[in-house]
Structure 1
Amino acid sequence: MGRAAAAAMIQGLVLLWAAVLGGATPTSPRLRLSFSELQARHGLRTFRLERTCCYDTLLVDEERGRLFVGAENHVASLNLDNISRRAKKLAWPAPVDWREECNWAGKDIGTECMNFVKLLHSYNRTHLLACGTGAFHPTCAFIEVGHRLEEPVLRLDLRRQEDGKGRSPYDPSHRAASVLVGEELYSGVAADLMGRDFTIFRSLGRRPSLRTEPHDSRWLNEPKFIKVFWIPENENPDDDKIYFFFRELAVEASPALGHQSVSRVGQICRNDVGGQRSLVNKWTTFLKARLVCSVPGMEGDTHFDQLQDLFLLASRDRWTPLLYAVFTTSSDIFQGSAVCVYSMNDVRRAFLGPFAHKEGPLHQWVAYQGRVPYPRPGMCPSKTFGTFSSTKDFPDDVIQFARNHPLMYNSVLPMGGRPLFLQVGAGYTFTQIAADHVVAADGHYDVLFIGTDVGTVLKVISVPKGGVPNAEGLLLEELQVFEDSSAVTSMQISSKRHQLYVASRSGVAQIPLHRCAAHGRACAECCLARDPYCAWDGATCTRFQSSSKRRFRRQDVRNGDPSALCSGDTSHPVLLEQKVFGVEGGSVFLECEPRSLQAHLDWTFQRAGEQASTQVPATERAERTRAGLLLRGLRRRDAGLYLCTAVEQGFSQPMRRLALHVLSVAQAERLARTEDAAPGAPPPGPKLWYRDFLQLVEPGGGGSNSLRMCRPPPAPQTPPESPPELPRRKGRNRRTHAQEPPRAERGPRSAAHW
């Protein structure tokens, strides 16, 4: 296929993406909270070290009540309940001669020639295993942490430092994935200085080290390792497998598409000890399959092929946990991220399917149709599937087949056949994920916390849709946990303490899993939030306890319908009438912003002296915005009572009652002169709200008369010589004519006076 054909194919893909996802719009959260709001009212706590960056590694230790953090030249031990107090830090820099050697090799001594801690594991009751880049000299050490909760220990064991090659990357920009099982470390990492020898490596322990076949693109082709998990198959420990999740360049891809990146899941048997005559000190049970996350379309699927992170969530069946994974696209055409969910049964089924096979360089990849040797490659030596006691007993044809056929033909598809949650064109991409299983009044729900590359965390719940296994993700909250918007690089969750720990290049943040009080002060608001952590207790929106016997706790996560649950609730806050002033011919902005971003505003108007209310239409003079109602070209008959109501999922809730008074320009001027002429009048200042009127209505700034919204100030010490219904103005409004909201689409005129 020539360049012209390849270009045509790429153009076709662009058109396909536009057809499938072009109309997609990013989902808005119901609640969006800024960094300052979270810090002031919702328990956000932060931690950072002076002149230190890159908090890449988090380890939650529930028994000790500590959060261990790996960063540049440091390991920190933080309190799980409050990371801002009782923090201990351990300096672990690279030796000076290693830093100088790193600098001589052309690396930046200030940003690369440091010891970036990439790996932290609990090794035993008293020590951690830590590994870092060591200024391009990977190194590992054991850190004493003790086991007493009241006196945390953090001390480097200088007698037990080891070579970190094959455990930690050389380059701080590279990721490493590992799991410690017993005393053995299974890691996926680049094992050389140039970052070209990628390997899945077993080290430590008493058995000999094993690795993948080096420099064989059929095994690993420039992989980026994401996560590693030990997942038992059954009660027999001989059948235990280690699963590696990574992305790599696809050897099976069409050459016309160039280097195509795909996501993979790889498996090895824990009791693999290598071959006897072939694959000596190499894995004999290594297999890999493609991990697909795509949106089905009429003309083909749209793939999210860049695996970013994965979380293993335990289920009722301990052998079949759920795998929640976040993906992004490798396309330069559009920006998108997705969450896909996988069952371990589907992963195992792919490894029991046909092997991928290719006869020669000009042939296509097909399912292998020949004879598969016994025992089947990929099976662990155990009594479950045969009489082989060791991989060294495997016949030569089994070893040779495993060497030449590491790739499976069938892919692993997500549950439901499509992503659980999708964001396209949202201005950010997903980077990390953590999950929690929550028991609610109407069922069990998985709550997902998704980190992004702009320092935010999305809270998403998985809600059943139709029959099992179909579900959909609902975006509840968007939380700005890092003030500098740095990308989320690591996340850990403590279900026991109901806390989420988030790391970035700039620091570590801690945030509670729920903010029930933020959902509102009414039963309907609490119910519409659909947060499985929260329920209405008759007075407030509070933490839901499944063991509680209080029958009046109200919660509807599945549907979020307050009509039945809150029909008799009388807890709505009393709306006080607020006065708003405008000037004839100018503009006024009636502020009313709903707590929920998924609600829309409904405005009604009641003219002074009348009983009936009418709907305020969207016209060129009355423009609805997200934050309120903008009225232009004010007339005297626009004066009256305006009621703002938030409508969400068919449920209405009054938000504000605003009484608009429209003054003439002459009246405003007369009032200003009256105040200036009053005996003992105070000097010009904030109290002279009439002067503010004149400054706002004079032609010039912006080309038209305008006044946004004047809030009434407290009653003055000495009553002014002005009508009693016109209070003094507290201060100049912060909104200006130049900051007017954008004009909305004009709707039909449904009221005569508009």
Structure 2
Amino acid sequence: MSLAFSFADPQFVKGAIIKQDKPHNEKIYLFFREDNPEWRREPIAPRIISRVAQLCKRDNGGSGSVSASMWTTFLKATLLCVDSVTDRHFDHLQNVLIVESPIWSETKIYGVFSNEWNYSAVCVYSVGEITEIFQTSSFKGYNDEIPSVRPGQVRNIGQCEFYNWKSREMKKMKSFVLHYDCQEHEEKNVARVADSYPEMTEKVKQQAVFYSKHFYHQIGVHEVKVADDTYNVLYLATDRGTIHKVVLLPKGAMNILEIQPFRSSAAIQSMILDNTRKKLFVASANELVQLPMDMCGAYKDSCESCVLARDPHCGWINGICASIYDSDLYGKRKLLQALTHDVSPDICSSESHSNTKGKGTIHREIRLPRQSRYYLNCSAKSHYADYTWFHNDQNVTHCSSGHHHCIHFIKNMTDDLYGTYSCISQEGWFEETLVTEDLVRPALETMQFRSLLPTDWAIKASLSSWLGLLHMVVVVLIVQ
């Protein structure tokens, strides 16, 4: 089959068979990037654009000598992913995940896109809206009348009924000849339009459900059913070898957790979700790991940290952050969750949700000699909290939300810089001390300082003895 004129240096991302209303209507969908033919004519146009193409699964080409070597149902359309807040366009499709639905038109297509700065966005399309564009949009650059059998549609016997030739009133042989001539004529028109004008004028456009300054190249999606609703959780692989866990909430997406899948830093080669066993499989060039999808242990410090994580997999009960799949631990009792952006300050105040605030605070004593350098590091637990370093209750460094680490650097250790340093996170009404470090002077340095004076005396006494002996020798030589 020939598609030589349908692509411009394509880079294929994914292909899949998408079920539709009837078995003979099943389509093959292709997702790819290609050179933008308008780029040279319009400098502001993106150089690379993303596409979705369709092809009927039963398309075997036409019956004529020309159309027999061509697909007559191949069409393509531009995929647009736009961030509604910044109005940024993301033109480079990186990865696609298809989530099937019992209703074929509601099957979802999750696409990960990037832009020229390697920022990323996730857009979600439905098979229904893509199908509608292929069925209704005009053909880009084609201004003639569209054939009665529209290119891109599955063609069955009886398609020439559009001509109203009343074949039933004719003799069988004459009817067959007329039907054959009609079919041959239509196939040539369909093949010509599909081969020369496969692109749709209308674009498939969606607003991003999540936008980030990180570069993502793979995606996994898990549908989580909790008591009040159903939530979609995204697992996005970064180019730094980490995975971001993002939950789609009614008022917007939240990046709730960063996962380090490997013992040492490595690029993620593949990532697969097993929705049945609730496991996440991640592979590098040298390592394969299996991770639970819930990972509620990351929020074990307190009721507040567990609830404010807004992870639909997890909830607070009996002094721990438990998984919704561990019902054997809490029976029929309900987990405490708050899957909204606005969480009540008194959500953890009841006795039934006993708090263990401060349980996860890291406390260290660090001995530093004077004139040394030292970094105080506080790793971010939440992407939406502010972090502040205090020295003896005085603010010395502030880090706004979005930082991975809040660092306070001491260039030259002096006496006034010793003392207690604390890193405190603030997210809305919730405040938590994450790290406390006591910087003290080493005991050895103090002992050496105290022994300096006696040692100096000994040196002076020894020197005086040698001078006295030398004086005596000189006197003896003079006398002789």
Q: Unmatched 5+ residue regions in structure 1?
A: 1-210, 359-367, 466-471, 607-615, 678-754
Q: Within 1, Cα distance between the matches of 2:362 and 2:123?
A: 49
Q: Within 2, Cα distance between the matches of 1:251 and 1:311?
A: 27
| Aligned equivalent of 2:72 | 284
Aligned partner of residue 280 in structure 1, secondary structure: helix
Aligned partner of residue 67 in structure 2, secondary structure: coil
| Aligned equivalent of 1:193 | none
629 and 644 in structure 1: CA distance in 2 versus 1, 3 angstrom threshold: farther
Structure 1 position 517, deviation (Å): 0.8
| Aligned equivalent of 1:373 | 147
Q: 1:412 aligns with which of 204, 224, 238?
A: 204
| Aligned equivalent of 1:343 | 126
546 and 254 in structure 1: CA distance in 2 versus 1, 3 angstrom threshold: farther
CA contact (8 A) 1:439 1:445 kept: yes
Structure 1 position 571, deviation (Å): 2.7
Structure 1 position 248, deviation (Å): 1.2
Structure 1 position 224, deviation (Å): 1.4
Q: 2:191 aligns with which of 381, 386, 399?
A: 399
| Aligned equivalent of 2:345 | 563
| Aligned equivalent of 2:378 | 593
Q: Within 2, Cα distance between the matches of 1:588 and 1:580?
A: 16
CA contact (8 A) 1:241 1:269 kept: yes
| Aligned equivalent of 1:249 | 35
369 and 497 in structure 1: CA distance in 2 versus 1, 3 angstrom threshold: same
| Aligned equivalent of 2:394 | 617
Partner amino acid, structure 1, of 2:233: V
CA contact (8 A) 1:232 1:319 kept: no
CA contact (8 A) 2:83 2:121 kept: no
Stretch deviating more after TM superposition (306-315 or 449-458): 449-458
Q: Any residues of structure 2 matched to 1:264-275 within 5 Å, and which?
A: 264-275=51-62
335 and 275 in structure 1: CA distance in 2 versus 1, 3 angstrom threshold: same
| Aligned equivalent of 2:463 | none
Structure 1 position 396, deviation (Å): 2.9
Partner amino acid, structure 1, of 2:53: G
Structure 1 position 601, deviation (Å): 4.0
Partner amino acid, structure 2, of 1:228: G
Partner amino acid, structure 2, of 1:279: S
1:314 aligns with 2:106: no
Per the normalisation by structure 2, the TM-score is 0.74
| Aligned equivalent of 2:170 | none
CA contact (8 A) 1:441 1:546 kept: no
Q: Within 2, Cα distance between the matches of 1:652 and 1:220?
A: 55
Q: Within 1, Cα distance between the matches of 2:394 and 2:231?
A: 41
Give the share of equivalent positions with the same residue, in percent.
27
315 and 627 in structure 1: CA distance in 2 versus 1, 3 angstrom threshold: farther
Structure 1 position 546, deviation (Å): 9.7
Q: Within 2, Cα distance between the matches of 1:384 and 1:230?
A: 26
Q: Within 2, Cα distance between the matches of 1:566 and 1:220?
A: 58
Partner amino acid, structure 1, of 2:127: M
| Aligned equivalent of 2:281 | 501
Partner amino acid, structure 1, of 2:78: R
Per the normalisation by structure 1, the TM-score is 0.49
Aligned partner of residue 50 in structure 2, secondary structure: strand
Structure 1 position 263, deviation (Å): 0.8
241 and 266 in structure 1: CA distance in 2 versus 1, 3 angstrom threshold: same
439 and 373 in structure 1: CA distance in 2 versus 1, 3 angstrom threshold: same
CA deviations over 1:582-641 (Å, ceiling 9, x no partner): 8998789796736614333457788xxxxxxxxx333xxx456725696965459x86x7
567 and 454 in structure 1: CA distance in 2 versus 1, 3 angstrom threshold: same
Q: Any residues of structure 2 matched to 1:361-510 within 5 Å, and which?
A: 368-382=142-156, 394-414=186-206, 417=207, 419-424=208-213, 426=214, 429-465=215-251, 472-482=252-262, 485-510=265-290
CA contact (8 A) 2:12 2:33 kept: yes
1:668 aligns with 2:458: no
CA deviations over 1:4-33 (Å, ceiling 9, x no partner): xxxxxxxxxxxxxxxxxxxxxxxxxxxxxx
1:531 aligns with 2:311: yes
Partner amino acid, structure 2, of 1:292: L
CA deviations over 1:682-728 (Å, ceiling 9, x no partner): xxxxxxxxxxxxxxxxxxxxxxxxxxxxxxxxxxxxxxxxxxxxxxx
642 and 434 in structure 1: CA distance in 2 versus 1, 3 angstrom threshold: closer
CA deviations over 1:396-423 (Å, ceiling 9, x no partner): 3233222222110001012xx3x22223
Aligned partner of residue 293 in structure 1, secondary structure: strand
Stretch deviating more after TM superposition (544-553 or 261-270): 544-553
269 and 601 in structure 1: CA distance in 2 versus 1, 3 angstrom threshold: closer
| Aligned equivalent of 1:732 | none
Computing the radius of gyration from Cα coordinates, the structure with the larger value is 2
Structure 1 position 243, deviation (Å): 0.8
Aligned partner of residue 233 in structure 2, secondary structure: strand
Stretch deviating more after TM superposition (584-593 or 537-546): 584-593
Structure having the higher helix fraction is: 2
276 and 445 in structure 1: CA distance in 2 versus 1, 3 angstrom threshold: same
Partner amino acid, structure 2, of 1:226: V
CA contact (8 A) 1:271 1:381 kept: no
| Aligned equivalent of 1:653 | 432
CA contact (8 A) 1:590 1:658 kept: no
